[in-house]
């Protein structure tokens, strides 16, 4: 707050609560151009309530703070997929509009779903394939190529009949992945699975590790206890070439445990390739955005870094985003 007040050319005040006496008193004394920052709305349980009446009551109190001729501008894209009081219910009670950030995010993501420049390459990583099922399903026939990395790649390897030793595996998702692999060729989408992986003796930054073929993980020095923690260098180079040949690239999820230097190579290679391609590039928020910054890349090196990990994915899944659909255009 102190920094905001220092930078802003207007008076900034902070309420001690969201809709209590402090908020009401300060809201009632605002002059034109003044700004009032409320306490964190999630401190009120009604903000995230599943009960429409509870959320609505909280929204009514928030709206009352605006007085006559109030309006709502939502610039929190990372929350538009949530049906919360301050995101959805307030917008049903006031003239409501997209802020600049939300507008930019929507325009960028629209390019990934409408009249996309091809070849269109999607890079998916992260730990769980179950988190990506809906977006994979919606990308079949839309993306030309889906590059698979991160912990989720081991479920893909298992679906192809390979043993993955002690690597992360969602066994219950194997039939689903097998179905996607079968449907992909008919849809005109190619899955590219790593041919080599970095296997470690344990989950630790200083763990012993080695590169092995993706179809021979149990043949590593660590046997059945080996843990895959990154895509291998051959796969990283192959993925980079796919990216450099694309016209549009969307990336969501790191290729390995990038927080550990020994297992950051795959993620670093993807980030580097995105900075070198002439393609329209989008980094899909969440862990991917954290990864590029942790590895020393600047936001300006990428076409767009989304501020909404979950919101970005749900947009690409084709879902209705409550906090977005309610806004006036």
Please tell me whether residues 235 and 299 are part of one structural domain: yes
Please tell me whether residues 66 and 115 are part of one structural domain: no
Q: pLDDT for 5-14, tens place per residue?
A: 888 888 999 9
Domain C-terminal end among 102, 127, 143: 102
Q: Please check whether residue 188 lies inside any domain of the structure.
A: yes
Please tell me whether residues 57 and 188 are part of one structural domain: no
For the chain, the average pLDDT equals: 96
Q: Please check whether residue 325 lies inside any domain of the structure.
A: no
Please tell me whether residues 223 and 262 are part of one structural domain: yes
CATH of the domain at 44: 3.40.50.1260
Q: Average pLDDT in the 191-219 region? A: 98
Report the domain count for the chain: 2
Please tell me whether residues 97 and 127 are part of one structural domain: no
How much is the pLDDT for 20?
A: 97
Q: Average pLDDT in the 99-122 region? A: 95
The answer to whether residues 62 and 90 touch, using CB atoms and an 8 Å cutoff, is yes
SS in 3 state form for the chain?
CHHHHHHCCCCEEECCCCCCHHHHHHHHCCCCCCEEECCCHHHCHHHHCCCHHHHHHHHHHHHHCCCCCCCEEECCHHHCCCCCHHHHHHHHCCCEEECHHHHHHHHHHHCCCCCCCCCEEEEECCCCHHHCHHHHHHHECCECEEEECCCCHHHHHHHCCCCCCCCCCCHHHHHHHHHHHHHHHHHCCEEECCCEEEEECCCCCCCCEEEEEHHHHHHCCCHHHCEEEEECHHHHHHHHHHHHCCCEEEEECCCCCCCCHHHCHHHHHHHHHHHHCCCEEEECCHHHHHHHHHCCCCHHHCCEECCCHHHHHHHHCCCCCHHHHCCEC
Where is pLDDT greater, at 245 or 318? 245
**How far, in Å, CA of 284 to CA of 312, rounded?**
6
**How far, in Å, CA of 103 to CA of 107, rounded?**
6
> Quick check: 2 pLDDT over 90?
no
Cβ within 8 Å of residue 83, ≥6 positions away: 55, 322, 323
> Quick check: 79 pLDDT over 70?
yes
Other Cβ atoms within 10 Å of 8 Cβ, number:
10
Please tell me whether residues 87 and 117 are part of one structural domain: no
Give the residue numbers spanning the domain of 277: 105-316
Q: pLDDT for 252-268, tens place per residue?
A: 999 999 999 999 999 99
Please tell me whether residues 133 and 273 are part of one structural domain: yes
How much is the pLDDT for 10?
A: 87
Please tell me whether residues 98 and 195 are part of one structural domain: no
Where is pLDDT greater, at 69 or 196? 196
Q: Average pLDDT in the 316-326 region? A: 94
How much is the pLDDT for 7?
A: 87
Distances (CA, A) of 214 to 177, 180, 231, 253: 17, 20, 9, 19
> Quick check: 329 pLDDT over 60?
no
Q: Please check whether residue 36 lies inside any domain of the structure.
A: yes
How much is the pLDDT for 328?
A: 61
Domain C-terminal end among 62, 85, 102: 102
**How far, in Å, CA of 82 to CA of 85, rounded?**
9
Please tell me whether residues 81 and 215 are part of one structural domain: no
Instruction: With CA atoms as reference, report the closest residue to 265 among 243, 233, 220.
Output: 233
**How far, in Å, CA of 100 to CA of 94, rounded?**
18
Please tell me whether residues 42 and 92 are part of one structural domain: yes
What's the pTM? 0.91
Please tell me whether residues 307 and 216 are part of one structural domain: yes
Q: Please check whether residue 326 lies inside any domain of the structure.
A: no
Please tell me whether residues 174 and 142 are part of one structural domain: yes
Q: Please check whether residue 264 lies inside any domain of the structure.
A: yes
The answer to whether residues 250 and 198 touch, using CB atoms and an 8 Å cutoff, is no
Q: Please check whether residue 116 lies inside any domain of the structure.
A: yes
């Amino acid at each position: 707050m102190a920094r905001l007040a220092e930078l802003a050319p207007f008076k900034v005040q902070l309420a001690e609560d969201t809709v209590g006496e402090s908020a009401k008193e300060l809201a009632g004394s605002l002059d034109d151009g003044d700004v009032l920052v409320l306490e964190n709305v999630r401190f009120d349980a009604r903000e995230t309530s599943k009960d429409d009446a509870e959320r609505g009551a909280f929204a009514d109190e928030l709206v009352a703070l605006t007085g006559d001729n109030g309006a709502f501008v939502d610039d929190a894209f990372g929350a538009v997929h949530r049906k919360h009081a301050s995101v959805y219910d307030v917008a049903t009670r006031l003239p409501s509009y997209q802020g600049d950030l939300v507008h930019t995010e929507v325009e960028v993501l629209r390019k990934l779903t409408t009249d996309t420049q091809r070849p269109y390459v999607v890079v998916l990583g992260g730990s769980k394939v179950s988190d990506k099922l809906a977006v994979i399903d919606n990308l079949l026939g839309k993306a030309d190529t889906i590059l698979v990395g991160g912990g989720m790649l081991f479920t893909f390897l298992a679906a192809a009949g390979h043993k993955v030793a002690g690597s992360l595996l969602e066994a219950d998702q194997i039939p689903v992945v097998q179905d996607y692999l079968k449907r992909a060729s008919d849809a005109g989408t190619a899955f590219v699975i790593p041919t080599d992986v970095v296997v470690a003796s344990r989950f630790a930054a200083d763990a012993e590790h080695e590169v092995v073929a993706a179809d021979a993980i149990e043949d590593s020095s660590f046997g059945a206890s080996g843990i895959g923690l990154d895509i291998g260098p051959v796969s990283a180079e192959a993925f980079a070439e796919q990216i450099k040949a694309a016209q549009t690239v969307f990336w969501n999820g790191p290729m390995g445990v990038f927080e550990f230097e020994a297992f950051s190579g795959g993620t670093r290679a993807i980030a580097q390739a995105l900075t070198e391609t002439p393609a329209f590039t989008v980094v899909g928020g969440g862990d991917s955005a954290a990864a590029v910054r942790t590895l020393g890349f600047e936001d300006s090196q990428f076409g767009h870094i989304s501020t909404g990990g979950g919101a970005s994915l749900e947009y690409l899944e084709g879902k209705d985003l409550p906090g977005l659909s309610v806004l006036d255009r």
